[in-house]
A and B are shown apart, each in its own frame.
Chain A
Amino acid sequence: MHESKVAEYVYEIVEETVKEDPELQNRKITQLVFKLSKPYTVYPDSFCFYFEELIKGTFLEGTTLEFEEFGEDESQKGFYLASIEVEDPE
Chain B
Amino acid sequence: MKIKVLKNVMLKNNALGADNRWKFKKNSVFVLNMTSSPGAGKTTLIKNSLAEFTGKYKMAIIEGDLYTSRDAEQFTDFDIPIYQINTEGGCHLDAKMIHAAIEDLDLEELDFILIENVGNLVCPATFDLGADRMVTVYSITEGEDKPKKYATMFEKADIVVINKMDIAPHLDIDVDKVEAEIKEVNPGCKVLRLSANQPESLKEWYEWVRKEIESKSGE
Q: Are A85 and B2 in contact (CB under 8 A)?
A: yes
**What separation, in Å, do the CA atoms of A33 and B7 have in the docked complex?**
11
- For residue B4, give the distance in angstroms from its CB to the closest CB of chain A: 5
Find the A residue at minimum CB distance from B4.
A83
Q: Are A84 and B5 in contact (CB under 8 A)?
A: yes
Given contacts A2-B127, A39-B151, A41-B152, contact A76 B5 (CB under 8 A): no
- What's the interface size class on B, roughly? 20 to 34
Q: Are A80 and B127 in contact (CB under 8 A)?
A: no
8 Å CB contacts to A: which residues of B85-144? 90-92, 94, 122-123, 125-127
Q: Are B94 and A78 in contact (CB under 8 A)?
A: no
- For residue A83, give the distance in angstroms from its CB to the closest CB of chain B: 5
Q: Mark A23-43, 1 if CB is under 8 A from B, else 0.
A: 110000000011100010110
**What separation, in Å, do the CA atoms of A6 and B127 have in the docked complex?**
10
Identify the stretch in B8-16, B51-59, B72-80, B205-213 within 8 Å (CB) of chain A at 4 or more residues. B8-16
Give how many A residues have a beta carbon under 8 Å from the other chain's beta carbons: 31
Q: Are B126 and A81 in contact (CB under 8 A)?
A: no
Main secondary structure of the interface of B (DSSP, over half): mixed
Q: Which residues of B lie under 8 Å from residue A9 when comparing CB positions?
A: 9-10, 12-13
Q: Is B171 an interface residue (CB 8 A)?
A: no
Q: Is A19 an interface residue (CB 8 A)?
A: no
Most buried by A among B5, B91, B94: B5
Q: Is B6 an interface residue (CB 8 A)?
A: yes
Q: Is A12 an interface residue (CB 8 A)?
A: yes
Q: Which residues of A lie under 8 Å from residue B9 when comparing CB positions?
A: 6, 9-10, 13, 34, 42, 78-81
Q: Which residues of B lie under 8 Å from residue A81 when comparing CB positions?
A: 5-7, 9
**What separation, in Å, do the CA atoms of A24 and B1 have in the docked complex?**
10
Q: Is A88 an interface residue (CB 8 A)?
A: yes
Most buried by A among B1, B13, B90: B1
Find the A residue at minimum CB distance from B87.
A5
- For residue A87, give the distance in angstroms from its CB to the closest CB of chain B: 8
- For residue B211, give the distance in angstroms from its CB to the closest CB of chain A: 30
Residues of A within 8 A of B (CB): 1-2, 4-6, 9-10, 12-13, 17, 21, 23-24, 33-35, 39, 41-42, 76, 78-88
Instruction: List 28 A-B residue pairs with CB atoms under 8 Å apart, sorted by A's residue number.
Output: A1-B91, A1-B123, A2-B123, A2-B127, A5-B127, A6-B9, A12-B12, A13-B5, A13-B7, A17-B3, A17-B5, A21-B3, A23-B1, A24-B3, A33-B2, A35-B6, A39-B152, A41-B10, A42-B126, A78-B8, A78-B9, A79-B8, A79-B10, A80-B8, A81-B7, A82-B6, A85-B1, A86-B3
The 9 closest A-B pairs by CB, nearest first: A9-B12, A2-B123, A1-B91, A41-B126, A84-B3, A79-B9, A81-B5, A83-B4, A9-B9
